[in-house]
Structure 1
């Protein structure tokens, strides 16, 4: 098998969503009778234009909450104080929603487009082009021009690292090309001035067996030995495969990865922001855990650097990541036939328009 490709299970779940953030100005709001009227009128315009482009899962967010998108066999969403979590299956689920509070002045209006269909990755460039057509129509029809807009394209692939051990033999080879180059070859031109990031996340539930194998006392209030054990094994496995940008988060917060060269990294009450500079050559390790608190799951992250992308894609890098995670799993005693370790490969690109 070619090391330029990574061979992953046919059952891999793929998803894509694009978020356009429009900065809400007093000048724009002045054209409407109320905040609610503004949000309803713009969302109506968005939904009409999206329908023309055959885009069928659209959400307009006017409460400054951050959208988080996940695969699920059932479609539903729920809100926390800071986030809106969307669960959906791209093959089946459609929706049109507006999220707002009538008297709340949103800092940004977020237009969220979820890709639908069955060939998500193959059709990613086409989806991006259709979303841009909607954005062009929205911006052309707003009563104020020269509005500041940022576009973020997120693509995910998720699969069980131990699928083969469970009898799943069928795989497909991916080169995992850079989004900019992949879109360019599909006649979808993105601005040269953009920020991109590729990384892997893995969430490890802290099983009773794992806790008992490390912690000497069953009812201890100090979980530092457990976290230190996992951190040491993870760092060792990553170093063994020359992976130099990694993080471990075990503080109950959801990790969100950002390119620290282009974006301000600030954590919140619900999200642990983690900044990495893909262009920096030094080793970058970030750790967030508190030995006094036991969490349900520990999140591990591996971020690709500039040197990790070799034409034709991230295939070689992903083979290194898989090998490192298998070494890590073996070091902490995970049984591949009984346990599931879901690996999520993320590719992001963002730009201003």
Structure 2
């Protein structure tokens, strides 16, 4: 039954909501050649973009044309850091606003990325309205630029919370059904094409604290870290198997995991990012482990992916309860201190399509 507590996951009320939409397109050679140079082209796109954003009430938007992947993170201060492969945007959706552009002068990127960051309060409740605004902005941009290039649109939402919040004294929770995005948007008059893909997954990280190193010192004494990483991998996948979780990944090679649908993207990696592709329609076990025996990382990354069959009529609440139970079991095995350590869990929902 929809009202059953097993179909709801009770998340601390101090959980953080976040939403951003990434729209990508490749300006045609014909369009680019109508300008004196690539900088003039990008300047025109930026002007038209930010004008449309103002008209549609979108106040934190970034145009990126340097082939770096944008990553968003919560922070009380607003700033952007760049690495060779990434652009890291730190912001608080309640307060921060910006219209900025990024490209290397005189260099044409493979694609133009438009990053729309949701702002204000009640982001989850207003998610469909935000998506509608972005759709309208992209339509206006196409009209104003006189282009017909297709946009690849990815809507990303996530809830972040400390699994140990109750132990630390925050006992107030809210019950979420965690419905999938398509029916949520449909109910709120936000039209998503029938041809779309969705993905739901959970991530959590365990920092390599002094306490953890001390506890497993006997596994860290060799000239490489194979014993330690093999131990963590075995305990994690065993915990997943016990809870009948069949799609998961363990990353400990210094790279940031990115989760993708295998129908769209294949697994790949570069110096900073590890792309993990899962076939969510398959019931087969898909466990992936990437660790470097010669490197003791600062953070252990874990990913748990929901299969299509985990999407019940009422949502992903039952799946999330199962994942939480698995994480608690793993944390007990590793003897993590609930009082002294935050175990931040992120529940992700993605929907993507071309428009």
TM bin, normalised by shorter chain, reads: over 0.9
Report how many residues are paired.
Answer: 352
Counterparts of 1:329-344 in structure 2, within 5 Å, are 329-344=331-346
Q: 1:285: which partner in 2? A: 287
Output one character per residue of 1:282-306: Cα deviation in whole Å (capped at 9) or x when no partner.
0000000021111000100000001
Counterparts of 1:189-208 in structure 2, within 5 Å, are 189-208=191-210
Output one character per residue of 1:39-60: Cα deviation in whole Å (capped at 9) or x when no partner.
1111111101101111100000
Provide the rounded CA distance (Å) in 2 between the counterparts of 1:265 and 1:149.
23
Counterparts of 1:9-20 in structure 2, within 5 Å, are 9-20=12-23
Provide the rounded CA distance (Å) in 1 between the counterparts of 2:146 and 2:353.
23
Say whether 1:43 aligns with 2:39. no
Provide the rounded CA distance (Å) in 2 between the counterparts of 1:206 and 1:214.
11
Q: 1:298: which partner in 2? A: 300
Distance of aligned partners of 1:294 and 1:218 in 2 relative to their CA distance in 1, 3 Å threshold: closer
Query: Per-residue deviation at 1:156?
Result: 1.0
Determine helix, strand or coil for the equivalent of 1:165: coil
Determine helix, strand or coil for the equivalent of 1:122: coil
On the 8 A contact 1:27/1:144 being kept in 2, the answer is no
Counterparts of 1:175-254 in structure 2, within 5 Å, are 175-216=177-218, 220-254=222-256
Provide the rounded CA distance (Å) in 1 between the counterparts of 2:219 and 2:56.
60
Pick from 151, 158, 172 the counterpart of residue 170 of structure 1. 172
Counterparts of 1:1-353 in structure 2, within 5 Å, are 2-145=5-148, 147-216=149-218, 220-353=222-355
Query: Per-residue deviation at 1:24?
Result: 2.3
Provide the rounded CA distance (Å) in 1 between the counterparts of 2:126 and 2:47.
26
Provide the rounded CA distance (Å) in 2 between the counterparts of 1:25 and 1:204.
44
Query: Per-residue deviation at 1:23?
Result: 1.1
Q: Which runs of 5+ in 2 are unaligned?
A: none
Provide the rounded CA distance (Å) in 2 between the counterparts of 1:232 and 1:107.
40
Greater mean alpha carbon deviation, residues 160-169 or residues 24-33: 24-33
RMSD: 1.2
Query: Per-residue deviation at 1:333?
Result: 0.7
On the 8 A contact 2:220/2:228 being kept in 1, the answer is no
What's the TM-score, normalizing by structure 2?
Answer: 0.97
Output one character per residue of 1:48-98: Cα deviation in whole Å (capped at 9) or x when no partner.
110111110000001111100111111111111111000000000001110
On the 8 A contact 1:215/1:225 being kept in 2, the answer is no
Determine helix, strand or coil for the equivalent of 1:319: helix
Query: Per-residue deviation at 1:230?
Result: 1.0
Q: Which runs of 5+ in 1 are unaligned?
A: none
On the 8 A contact 1:241/1:320 being kept in 2, the answer is yes
Output one character per residue of 1:148-172: Cα deviation in whole Å (capped at 9) or x when no partner.
3100000011000010111111011
On the 8 A contact 2:163/2:344 being kept in 1, the answer is yes
Query: Per-residue deviation at 1:217?
Result: 7.1
On the 8 A contact 1:214/1:225 being kept in 2, the answer is no
